Structure 1
Amino acid sequence: MRNVVVVGAGPAGLAAARAAAVAGAQVTLLDAADGLGGQYWRHLPADRPAGREGLLHHKWSTFGGLSDALRAHPAVTVLPSAQVWSLERLDGGIRLNVLLGEPDGAGRAARTFEPDALVLATGAHDRTLPFPGWQLPGVYSAGAAQALAKGERVAVGRRVVVAGAGPFLLPVAASLLQTGATVVGVHEAARVGALVRGWLSRPLELAGAVGKAGELAGYVRDLVRHRVPWRPGEAVVAAHGDGQVEAVTLARLDERWTPVAGTERVVEADAVCVSHGFTPRLELAIAAGCALAPNRFVVVDDTQATSVPGVWAAGELTGIGGADAALAEGAVAGTAAAGGDTGAADARRTVRARDRARGFAARIEAAHGVRGGWTGWLRDDTVVCRCEETTYGRVREVVELTASHETRSVKLTSRAGLGPCQARLCGRTLQELLGDPAPSVDRRPLVVPVRLGDLADLPSATPTASVPSSVPSSVPTTANPTAPQTGGDRI
């Protein structure tokens, strides 16, 4: 029986874990959150459940079926609150170093895993382009706003502007409306012409996204019912306020996303939610040595295998294609990682579903991909790195003084990207401003911040395979008591 570790419990990770178990593997599912579902199915905790949770989620029954199947399967161990803080390459294998417990808690229990096969389903996080005033309280990434709405039923403001690019803006607006916020408007940076060319140039690629039409209709219905305007070809180019967002400046954009002079207007708002797409969480993939495509996604073959033997990838790591693509990719990856037959009838149907869903991902980039003219709304005093408060002017000064466009050099000189988020928020922006395509901002030997005390307490000898007795009782493991136990550090 092969031992498979899946990192990430969103749609791709859940599908991979179930497929691997069905194919006969011993599966361990790791996720840093305290529950399953990832960002897509973020929901209220079990101790205070919602009566109608499905109102805020698409495919909620799919999530229920996956999570129930995994918790009931005798060969599956689910470990929430499990942060993979580093990955080591061994001769012929991979070692994952994991801390179990609350992310900010002291005395977390350490475990290591050396699986026969590893499936990476680490997902992505928001990409937000900077603009003057975006460091003000009240400016949120769209993902953060939706997480608060879904996971806590909290609205980020009373009058909220939603802006950026991509279909994700619509469910964010719908989530805000569900919490009682007034959505002033939804502003899509792409112009109508770009949207038509991107979505309709190759209509056959949309065959796998027929179900998305119902979702779109639901979002349009919500916007119409609440009289929320949707305005293409517009962007938030500045936020204003004394210690808090009080208003934003909106402007029309041309095809290259350059603000059109004279079209600016100020709108009152106490919050703004911004998303310009997503960037994959590449730390573990890079640490494993996986090859990346020029668009910074992990390269996989037809079975979702990466360039590293024994490592598969699924979901947003391989392209931003939505939940349908993630579910199909996860199922293919899990089957292959477990040594299952991807040529079997059921597996072939899953592969076809994945291939159809990938057409949707291609359309998102074609229609909503970031265009270079956005730098036209930057000023020299615009903060580029919020952690270190490094401005656009400082970055330009460093480039002029050092004659260097290499990201690492500019980071060390200007301090942009050296703060607590370790360039997760500003890294792509900095690279784009410098014209440096190398993925150096995603190369983090420590994937997440780790207390020095936790590092000092790491065992010097090979630890036991089972969850150590020192694991705090607050760590909610869901290891099935009937699952076979391993006799060493390999699981």
Structure 2
Amino acid sequence: MPGSASETYDLAVIGAGPAGLAGAVAASGLGLTVALLDAGAQAGGQFFRHPDPALGAARPQALHHGWPAFTALRSRLEASEVVHLAGHHVWTVARGSGEPWTVHALTGADGDGGHPVRVRARAVLLATGAYERQLPFPGWTLPGVVGAGGAQAMLKSGLVLPGSRVVVAGSGPLLLAVAASLAAAGARVPAVAEASGYLGYARHPRALALNPGKLLEAAVHGSALLRHRVRLRTRSAVTEVHGSDRVEAVTLSRVDREWRPVPGTGRRIACDALAVGHGLAPQIELATGLGCATRPTPDGMHALVLDDLQETSVPGLWAAGETGGTGGWQLARAEGELAGIAVAARLRGQPALTGSGRTRALRRRRDRMRAFAGAMAAAHAPGPGWSDWLGDDTDVCRCEEVTAGRVREAVTDFGARDARTVKLLTRAGMGWCQGRMCTAAVTCLAAGAGQGSVPPSAERRPLAVPVPLGVLGSWTE
């Protein structure tokens, strides 16, 4: 049975998005035995999420950019010897001294009704992607408030809209793509509120010059917004959501360069949904649980430290895509292919592979796109004044209903100075999401800063997803 404890693969790839797909097919094409594990039922990851076949979507490609590139990768996967283990939720990775890696996963739609599976491999490639960073504000827990990426996921996978009149807000280039997609699908988008603006890109002329395709991509989204009469408001943020049972309106305020609301600029906009996001947080729990080194990113998050061939600080463990910093699907694909080649060179004892023309071209492409990713992160980094949006009664941790007032009390009255101490005093971050939604905000409030930086120690945990106690009770290496 694929994935049984008796079989050892050359490479286990965790995540079947662009990075994981590219890495798996590259390594397999060079003669490695490869297992590709992913929580989804279909390959593609979050970016190339596509409708359930039961919906009978006639043209799923209409919801995507780069669909031909994805279908080419998927065709290569189907034609390869890669063992694709769909519906596998990886909860930890372990390795004993001198032993292969063991990837522990749970099967099933949500990982809670299936069976524990172990996959052993000589090397591991982490392509686990990222999740949305959310910053709280009054009313953000009302029904009808969804993540910007979540709104796009609803459209791509379920062919549904979060509402008929949707305001899109936050910071980052994802907002333009989301607004264009929602408008094209029939939603009315009264405004797109970008808290930062786009002048920050001008500080990185070389990165812009090396990536002209990004300017074209922005122009495509901009023309779509013009066509659908969607107004883009820079230096603006949703600072409050109004409604009783669900979203009825939002307050849109001008913000200064520190993201502090400018008094007297609040404007109420009627809507029945809000799609909001403030960039992406690399999903690196598996890596930090193994002791991988991290680095701060320009937008205040942490990403993995990787060498020139995508290997982490832990030998035998590679990473690609958003785990090394948010940069888009094209960068993820290049990094995944590069990592697959590097693993094959190491395991097959063929160092010439890493010096080939193909490898050199991938490294140049990776470096060019990484430069733009750094410029993008810096341009859309949250300003320290965002916490001025919060009243003391605003929920910061929605799972445990911990308010900003309680977090501030933990800091001022009890001396908390980090997210871990605040968690012990208030339970913030101890709910179902395990801090994915609130840790950035709690860390900012605890440190008195607004960058949303999450110390690696706060991210390190042995379990990446919820695991039944019965599985833990029977777990042995």
Does TM-score exceed 0.5, indicating one fold?
yes
Provide the rounded CA distance (Å) in 2 between the counterparts of 1:53 and 1:19.
26
Provide the rounded CA distance (Å) in 1 between the counterparts of 2:153 and 2:62.
15
Aligned length: 454
Deviation at 1:459, TM superposition (A): 6.9
Code of the residue aligned with 1:22 in structure 2: it is: G
Tell me what 1:59 maps to.
Answer: 66
Gaps of 5+ in 1: 463-491
> Residue 399 of structure 2: SS of its match in structure 1?
coil
Deviation at 1:185, TM superposition (A): 0.6
Runs of 4+ in 1 over 6 A off after TM superposition: none
Query: Is the Cα–Cα contact under 8 Å of residues 135 and 441 in structure 2 kept in the other structure?
Result: yes
Deviation at 1:416, TM superposition (A): 0.8
Correspondent of 1:247 among 224, 229, 249: 249
Gaps of 5+ in 2: 1-7, 448-452
Tell me what 1:412 maps to.
Answer: 424
Residue-by-residue CA offset, 1:153-205 (whole Å, 9 max, x unaligned): 110011110000010001111221233211111010014xxx22x21223221
Verify: 1:442 aligned to 2:465, yes or no: no
Correspondences of 1:18-37 after superposition (within 5 Å): 18-37=25-44
Verify: 1:275 aligned to 2:277, yes or no: yes
Correspondences of 1:45-444 after superposition (within 5 Å): 45-74=52-81, 76-92=82-98, 93-103=100-110, 105-106=112-113, 108-191=114-197, 195-196=198-199, 198-295=200-297, 296-339=302-345, 341-435=353-447, 438-444=455-461
Deviation at 1:49, TM superposition (A): 4.2
Instruction: Provide the identity percentage.
Output: 47
Bigger drift between 214-223 and 229-238 goes to 214-223
Query: Is the Cα–Cα contact under 8 Å of residues 440 and 454 in structure 2 kept in the other structure?
Result: no
Provide the rounded CA distance (Å) in 1 between the counterparts of 2:304 and 2:401.
31
Query: Is the Cα–Cα contact under 8 Å of residues 236 and 248 in structure 1 kept in the other structure?
Result: yes
Provide the rounded CA distance (Å) in 2 between the counterparts of 1:269 and 1:131.
17
Deviation at 1:233, TM superposition (A): 0.4
Provide the rounded CA distance (Å) in 2 between the counterparts of 1:219 and 1:210.
15
Residue-by-residue CA offset, 1:280-309 (whole Å, 9 max, x unaligned): 111101122110013311000100011000
> Residue 91 of structure 2: SS of its match in structure 1?
strand
Code of the residue aligned with 2:11 in structure 1: it is: V
Provide the rounded CA distance (Å) in 2 between the counterparts of 1:36 and 1:174.
24
Provide the rounded CA distance (Å) in 2 between the counterparts of 1:13 and 1:97.
17
> Residue 181 of structure 2: SS of its match in structure 1?
helix
Code of the residue aligned with 1:241 in structure 2: it is: G
Correspondent of 2:20 among 1, 7, 13: 13
Residue-by-residue CA offset, 1:126-163 (whole Å, 9 max, x unaligned): 00110011011111111111100111111001111000
Provide the rounded CA distance (Å) in 1 between the counterparts of 2:179 and 2:122.
43
Provide the rounded CA distance (Å) in 1 between the counterparts of 2:48 and 2:84.
17
RMSD, aligned CA: 1.7
Deviation at 1:65, TM superposition (A): 0.8
> Residue 368 of structure 2: SS of its match in structure 1?
helix
Provide the rounded CA distance (Å) in 1 between the counterparts of 2:85 and 2:183.
34
Bigger drift between 309-318 and 170-179 goes to 170-179
Provide the rounded CA distance (Å) in 2 between the counterparts of 1:332 and 1:36.
19
Query: Is the Cα–Cα contact under 8 Å of residues 9 and 120 in structure 2 kept in the other structure?
Result: no
Tell me what 2:450 maps to.
Answer: none
Query: Is the Cα–Cα contact under 8 Å of residues 9 and 35 in structure 2 kept in the other structure?
Result: no
Deviation at 1:234, TM superposition (A): 0.1
Deviation at 1:48, TM superposition (A): 3.6
Provide the rounded CA distance (Å) in 1 between the counterparts of 2:248 and 2:364.
49
